[in-house]
Structure 1
Amino acid sequence: MTEQSTARRSRFTPLRAAQLYDAVLDLLREVGYEALSMEAVATRARFSKATLYRDWGGKPQLVAAAMKYHRPRQIDTIDTGSLRGDLYALADQSQNGEHAQSAAVHLGVGHAIYDNPELRHTLREVMLDPILDDIHAILRRGVDRGEVAPDNPALDLVPSMLASVSIARPLISEATLSRADSRRFMEALVFPALGI
């Protein structure tokens, strides 16, 4: 994002930005990505279509910004002093309400991610890469503290595995991912893979 577009966007109050992003995600859940239009977003959020295009560029960027804004809690602040503690803290952030809403949005963009390279790239850059970077940082601290061998092959696999679980869960189960499910996943698969 350019400095100019960041400066322009700052003229919106946090409340107006939240209303816009809520409208985007509501429409995603209702009609999916393909049927979502900038005109529908503009109407629902009471923004001009010209403003949306000027400040967000297009539908992929606006959808990614809304998903980033409503992303479940940040994980970059987790640091309990142990890798096991950090991973439990990560699991404990799994809350039914957040994951249910997030899952509905992911399903709303699911098919479009495969057909729309621009959307896929934007979502990866805005949403997925920061999460994977945060998980890698948690794992690096575990290596630095001597809790995990630096050549453990699971170090490169765990971040993607953790992200995949929350994204795939709604496709394979009626129940959303709960805190207990996340802890069980850590204990059964992640901890043994890391040898902790």
Structure 2
Amino acid sequence: MAPDAEPKARRSRLTEERERELYEAVIELLREAGYDALTMDAIAARTHSSKATLYRQWNGKPELVAAALRSCRPITAADVDTGTLRGDLRELLRLRCATSLRDASLMRALGQAMHKDPDLLRAFRTLVVEPETAALAAMLDRGVRRGELAADCPAAPFVPHMVLGALAARPLLEGAEADAEYLARYVDAVVLPALGL
């Protein structure tokens, strides 16, 4: 894909159930072989699809992998609305904890692959990061509308960094995954004070 090209819109020929099966197979293959060893041939064989179908639906491996990662996330920031910003942030990180613990090694391996493959990085940003960042911004906007958060809060643009940091830093600094109790303390001690709450 050209550096400034956007992933093309998928043609919706697959049923929702078939698409979900395909995404699950991609995640299984990623866990088994890693990103570098994953091929469209292997995906086609595992899913009993033709490579032509895969390429017709997605531009190639980077876009298919990013779409599978997005699809296999059981919860996104857009799904969380507890009625308070504190509740939203704590609930989002609590829910994120379960998937991050399960997929920690997979995401670390994909992080390395993204450094080597700009197409994978671009697809991951477009299909996973940007929608999640927009949903976090909407969560903060709800906090502004409820009067919990100042509209010009200087820390608000850094909430995605803080959320990602909570999940990524603890394994590096302490040798332990970020569990639900740790993430709740992190929200109360770091994120909320930074937002002036």
Show structure 1 runs of 5+ residues with no match: none
Is 2:44–2:51's contact at 8 Å kept on the other side of the alignment?
A: yes
Sort the Cα spacing of 1:174 and 1:30 in 2 relative to 1 into closer, same or farther, 3 A. Answer: farther
Q: Counterparts of 1:1-196 in structure 2 under 5 Å?
A: 5-8=10-13, 11-14=14-17, 16-96=18-98, 98-172=99-173, 174-196=175-197
Aligned length: 191
Q: Secondary structure at 1:34's aligned position in 2?
A: coil
Report the alpha carbon displacement of residue 24 of structure 1 after superposing the two structures with TM: 1.1
Amino acid at match of 1:129: E
Give the number of the structure whose residues are more often helix, by fraction.
1
Report the alpha carbon displacement of residue 168 of structure 1 after superposing the two structures with TM: 4.7
Is 1:114–1:120's contact at 8 Å kept on the other side of the alignment?
A: yes
Deviations 1:78-100 (A, max 9, x none): 2222212222222331343x222
TM-score (norm 2): 0.85
CA distance in 2, matches of 1:124, 1:171: 23
Sort the Cα spacing of 1:13 and 1:140 in 2 relative to 1 into closer, same or farther, 3 A. Answer: closer
CA distance in 1, matches of 2:102, 2:19: 19
Report the alpha carbon displacement of residue 171 of structure 1 after superposing the two structures with TM: 4.7
Q: Secondary structure at 1:76's aligned position in 2?
A: helix
Specify the alignment match of 2:3 in structure 1: none
Identity score, percent:
41
Deviations 1:106-135 (A, max 9, x none): 123122211211111110010011111111
Q: Secondary structure at 2:133's aligned position in 1?
A: helix
Note the aligned Cα RMSD (angstroms). Answer: 2.1
Sort the Cα spacing of 1:37 and 1:72 in 2 relative to 1 into closer, same or farther, 3 A. Answer: same
Deviations 1:136-160 (A, max 9, x none): 1111221222222222211111122
TM-score (norm 1): 0.86
Deviations 1:23-42 (A, max 9, x none): 21122122221111111111
Runs of 4+ in 1 over 6 A off after TM superposition: none
